[in-house]
Amino acid sequence: MTVKNFWNRRNFLGSAGVLAGMMLTARRVFGLPAAVPAAMPEKLTGFGATGSVYEELGVTAVINGEGTMTYLGGSLPRPEVEAVMALAAQHFVSIVELEQAAGKRIAELLKLPRDYDAIVTCGAAAGMQSGLAGILTGDNRTFIEQLPDLTGMKSEVIIQKSHRNGFDHQLRATGVKLIEVESREDVKRAINSKTAMLHFSNFANASGQIKVDEWVKLAHENQIPAFNDAAADTPPVSHLWDYANMGYDLIAFSGGKAIRGPQCAGLLVGKKEFIANALLNNSPHEDTLGRGMKVGKEEIVGMVKALECYLNEDHAALEKEWWRRLDTISAELTRVPGVATSFNVPDVANHVPHMQIFWDPRKISLSPHDAASALRKGKPSIVLGSSENGLGMNSFMLKPDEEKIIAAQLVQLFKSHAA
Ligand SMILES: *Cc1c(COP(=O)(O)O)cnc(C)c1O
């Protein structure tokens, strides 16, 4: 079996069933020492014995045409990531030492500017909270224990109104007040001695008056650190270093989205001092705001491997494959009378091919909402997005051949609702 075919086997992790077998095969493929660790069972009995942990729990696994959605499980980590996580699970280490060493390796992999460092967090949202906490507290132990009581610290974060979203809860958790602005004049008026940080939400770049490059300049003109939430903003891969090169003091990425690291991992990249202070405010340190955002040794190591793999990926070939999948589905669907498709690639955030599926309600009597829910209830269950206008999907989280299943199910659904 070639390595390539092995990776493509859909059942590699999903239904291997025999953990030791998986490790042995992984060892063969990845050239790891052949010995199975003593703790690794030869064969699973009880829970997991069928190889289908979700079915055993009565939970339906879905075909994911929606993308890297946290509520669907983020992404599927590469087998190499699973392999290093299993290796990490065999030993005890100092988590702080591991965070620092992994951060150093990540900074090298990403060729970050010399004064930049990184840590692995349990997600981009955690990176936002601990990053801001570090800016507020510095390395002051009293302040760290005192959060979210900001007595003696700065207490305001400036954010563009159109950049407010569900993730600014992580900023507010530190106790800060968010000061909303729209224009450059608003920013100048808002800055005062209590201003701790200027926050930018990268995917909202187009909707705010002040764009990503100007925001960081405004911050630095006033000696205030700037944060960029770039959680879902790879691809392109260059975004992993672009914002550091632009001068952002801290940047957060999700590990469990397109990078395909462990789902509960993220990356906080930034100026050395801010990264060190973020770590002081995060697990494993006790009596900290971030103690609840624990990062495991497996996630830390898995994230290093995920980045290495992601950087070595043939991104052009991947993109071609994502288009091919959508084209396959589109070709089948548009043969059904009344069905049309269109395509787009969002500028930032999920910068991957997307397809919209429309139909003439005079030819097919089915609402987009009902279409989506029929797919979700189908066997296999398929998750696509829906709006008033039709269905929406992308293909970057599909497993091999799932595009054929989606096409067949949709064609059948449309035909069964022909008016
Ligand atoms: C997904 C996302 C987050 C949260 O990232 P996690 O890694 O899930 O914590 C934050 N901001 C934006 C814009 C996101 O898309």
> pLDDT tens for residues 205-262?
999 999 999 999 999 999 999 999 999 999 999 999 999 999 999 999 999 999 999 9
Does the CB atom of residue 175 touch ligand 1 within 6 A? no
CA of 69 to the centre of ligand 1 (A): 9
Does the CB atom of residue 270 touch ligand 1 within 6 A? no
Per-residue pLDDT reduced to its tens digit, 336-367? 999 999 999 998 888 999 999 999 999 999 99
CA of 409 to the centre of ligand 1 (A): 31
Task: Note the maximum CA span of the chain.
Answer: 70
| Three-state DSSP state, 385 | strand
- What's residue 78's pLDDT? 96
Question: Which residue has the least CA distance to atom 8 on ligand 1?
Answer: 123
Decide the pairing of beta strands 250-254 and 266-271: antiparallel
CB-based contact 164:180 (threshold 8 Å): yes
Does the CB atom of residue 70 touch ligand 1 within 6 A? yes
Q: Cα(222)–Cα(228) distance, rounded to whole angstroms?
A: 17
Question: Which residue has the least CA distance to atom 12 on ligand 1?
Answer: 231
CA of 110 to the centre of ligand 1 (A): 20
Q: Cα(419)–Cα(409) distance, rounded to whole angstroms?
A: 18
DSSP secondary structure string for all residues of 353-402: -EEEEEE-TTTB---HHHHHHHHHHSSSEEE-EE-SS-EEEE-TTPPTTH
The DSSP secondary-structure symbol of 354 reads E
Does the CB atom of residue 124 touch ligand 1 within 6 A? yes
Backbone CA torsion sign across 24, 27, 29, 31: negative
CB-based contact 269:116 (threshold 8 Å): yes
- What's residue 237's pLDDT? 95
- Token pair for 137: 């507290």
Question: Which residue has the least CA distance to atom 2 on ligand 1?
Answer: 231
Q: Cα(84)–Cα(263) distance, rounded to whole angstroms?
A: 15
- In this prediction the pTM is 0.91
**Residue ranges of the chain with pLDDT lower than 50?**
1-19, 21, 34-36
Question: Which residue has the least CA distance to atom 11 on ligand 1?
Answer: 231
CA 125 to ligand 1: nearest atom: 9
Does the CB atom of residue 222 touch ligand 1 within 6 A? no
Q: Cα(251)–Cα(170) distance, rounded to whole angstroms?
A: 14
Neighbours of 71 (CB within 10 A): 7
CB-based contact 263:250 (threshold 8 Å): no
Q: Cα(19)–Cα(25) distance, rounded to whole angstroms?
A: 10
